[in-house]
Amino acid sequence: MKPRIYISNDHTGVEMKQAIVKYLTSLDYQVTDLGNVDGKSCSYASKGLELGEKIAGDKDCLGVALCGTGIGISIAANKVKGVRAGLVSELETAQLIREHNDCNVIAMGARMIAVDKALKLVDAFLKSEFAHGRHEERVKTINEYHG
């Protein structure tokens, strides 16, 4: 069964988000849009935290986070316990954040990459799985940190 996908964006990611939602729904993913829809200025921090809360509350889901650079929204999402958001801009990284880091959120910069590339990155992320093995202890260390 395909995981539910939560997607969120600030005002800079509306166009990219719309393309990703269209792409994912064409592949029969259930997509819940938490993002900005009108392009009016909004807080990437609030959008990232909201996404993080949804991801933390639904262990069988994945997330997509978009802001101008992808940095701010990923930092915000990562503040929520249980979220592992990775910022990507190339295919190998999109794959490795799942395989090595068991990331449950892919973050991208709407001002940094083209929409067609974003679709390829999301695809690589979704087709990859956690490799376990030597990576398990590292992810466990991150998950158990309470600092």
Could you give the residue numbers annotated as active site? 67, 100
* 42 vs 20: CA distance, rounded Å: 20
* 66 vs 7: CA distance, rounded Å: 8
Q: Sheet of 61-67: strands edge to edge?
A: 31-33, 4-9, 61-67, 105-109, 85-87
Dihedrals phi, psi of 134, to nearest 5 degrees: -60, -20
* 45 vs 84: CA distance, rounded Å: 16
**Cross-strand pairs, 4:** 61
**Helix 71-78 and helix 44-57, axial crossing angle in degrees, nearest 10:** 40
